[in-house]
Structure 1
Amino acid sequence: MRTSKGVEWAVHTLLNLAWLGDGEPVTTAQLAAGHDLSPSYLNKQLQHLVKAGLLESVPGARGGFRLAWPLEAVTMLDVVLAIEGDEPVFRCAEIRRCGTIGEQVPESGFSRPCAVNSAMARAEVAWQRALAEQSLADVQATAVAHAPALASHVRRGMGRD
C-alpha cells in the first residue's frame, strides 16, 4: 500500500506537538520549519487533521494548532484516513468480463465476486487492522526508545527550551 507524504508529515507533526507538551498552539510556519517542510503543503495536511477532529485550530495572533486528543486516543489508521480519505485502495474494474476472454465466460461464471478484488479487499482489511492496533503513543514510545532525547530536541527545535 502506498500513502502520500502527507501521512508522514501529519504523524510527525502530531508527535512533535505531543513532545512540546505544553498544549500551546503552534503555527504552521513553526511546524514546517521544524523539518524544513513546505508550509503550504503542511497546512493542507493540518486542515485535514482538524476536519478529522485530531487537531484543534486556534485563531488569532497567538493561534496555531494543538492536539485535540492525547496520543493514546489516536491510531495510525485515524491519521491515514484523515489524510488519504476512506476510499478503497483497490478499485476493481471487472476486467474479467471484458474482451475476448470475458466473452467466453458464461454469465454464471460471474456470479461470485471477482477473486482479485476479494484478495485485495482482504489485504486492505489486514493493513487497516494493523494501523488501527497502533496508537500514536505506541509510535512515540518506539521513537523515544530509539532516540531518548527526542522530546528535548523537538522543544529546542521549536524554540520552547
Structure 2
Amino acid sequence: MNNDDVISTLNDLIETCKDGEQGFRTCAEDIKDAQMKSFFTSRAQSCAEAAAELQQEVRTLGGNPETSSSIAGALHRRWVDIKGLVTGKDDEAILNECERGEDVAKRSYETALGKALPANIKTIVERQYSGVMKNHDQVKAMRNQVRAAKGNA
C-alpha cells in the first residue's frame, strides 16, 4: 500500500472518529439517564482522542489530516434530530440511533483492517477497532436494558 493510500485510509477513519465524537455528544445532550449521559460524554472524549492519534500518524506520513466529520455523519445527526422530534427523544430511540452510528464505525474500521496497512498503523487501527466494538456492545446492552424495562413497565 503506498503512502497516499495509507493517508487516505487514515483520513477516512478520522472522519469516522469525528462522526462518533459528535454523535456521542448529541446522545449525551438528549439522553435522560444520568449514567448513560456520563457514558456518552466519556465515549465522545475517547473518539476525539482516537482522531487525534490518527491525525498525528497522518502528519508523520507527511499528509494533511482530516479535521472534520463526514457529510454522512452530519446527515445522520440531522436525521436523529428530526426523528427525535417525532419520537420525543426517548432513551430507546436515542440508543437505537447511537447503535446505528456504531454499526457504521465498525464497517469503516473493518474496511481499513482489510487493507495492507503498515504494521505500526495496523496495530493502532486494531486497538481502536476493539474500542469501537466495545462501544457498540455497551450501547446495544443499554438499549436492550431500556427496552426490557419498558416491557416490564
TM over 0.5: no
In proportion to residue count, which structure has more helix? 2
**TM-score normalised by L of structure 1:** 0.29
Larger Rg: 1
Provide TM-score, normalisation by structure 2. 0.30
More strand by share: 1
